[in-house]
Amino acid sequence: MHSMKANLISALLGIVGIVLAMPAVVHGSEAGKSGHVPLPAMSTPEGKKCVEPTEVMRRDHMKFILHQRDDTMHEGIRTAKYSLKNCVNCHADEKTGSVLGEKGFCSSCHHYTAVHIDCFTCHTDKREKDAMAAVPTTPASGAKHEVKP
């Protein structure tokens, strides 16, 4: 039994050594070729300023979104500052009008950090002008319904 534990520990230490010896994440033109995840595509429209500094949003945006959700759903308070609709309207890709997709503002960063987001199963990932085209239908009735961000 002791020999099996020693072999297991030795194998784990070997794996850790291999991982530590691996090169750092590749950025730039080589990204993707080595199997590493490319850096996220993050942009804010020129001349616009986010509701909080970039460092704060990177670290705490989910807290703001959850707080907004709680205020809206439990208290009936609707404000625009941290509204998901405003985030989408500002950060959606110029070509697709969406924050999802390979170069989408939300999905590229969440893919990079291996975080699963499900906001857009109910809320639209499109800018407001394109939102009505993306309104889902319920499978049972086929009737369109709108979920407000």
- Does some domain include residue 43? yes
Q: Does 131 fall in a domain?
A: yes
Closest residue by Cα to residue 49 from 81, 95, 93 = 81
User: Rounded to an integer, what distance in angstroms lies between the CA atom of residue 125 and that of residue 108?
Assistant: 13
> Does residue 88 sit within a domain?
yes
Q: Which of 91, 104, 99, 107 is nearest to 54 (CA)?
A: 91
What is the extent of the structural domain holding 45? Answer: 38-149
C-alpha–C-alpha distance, residues 145 and 138, integer Å: 8
Q: Which amino acid, residue 57?
A: M
Higher-pLDDT residue of 11 and 112 is 112
Residue 145 lies in a domain: yes
Counting the structural domains of the chain, the total is 1
Residue 73 resides in a domain: yes
pLDDT digits (tens, 9 = 90+) for 70-86: 999 999 999 999 999 99
Is a pLDDT exceeding 70 seen at residue 10?
no
Band of pLDDT at residue 57, cut at 50, 70 and 90: very high
